[in-house]
Amino acid sequence: MSAILYYLEISIELLVETKCIYTITALFTLMIFVMSFQDIAVDAWAVEILLPENSSYAGACQSVGQLVG
């Protein structure tokens, strides 16, 4: 995701000026896919590392971590 954002930082103005709509759409679609994949992986990891009696705290831990981050 960092590579996509870095590329967009450098070239977004040129892409918009030259009306490369398909390229912009593909980049943002890829970025959303990567973000969704990361979210699913983090959820699975949280379920895997927490003990069964502490699994109810997974959502709260992730919310607090997201706010702090």
Mean pLDDT of successive 10-residue segments in the chain (69 residues)? 91 92 94 91 82 77 81
pTM above 0.85, yes or no: no
Torsion of CA 62, 57, 43, 67, to 10 degrees: -10
Specify the pLDDT at position 25. Answer: 94
Specify the pLDDT at position 31. Answer: 94
Specify the pLDDT at position 7. Answer: 93
Domain ranges of the chain: 2-68
Specify the pLDDT at position 6. Answer: 94
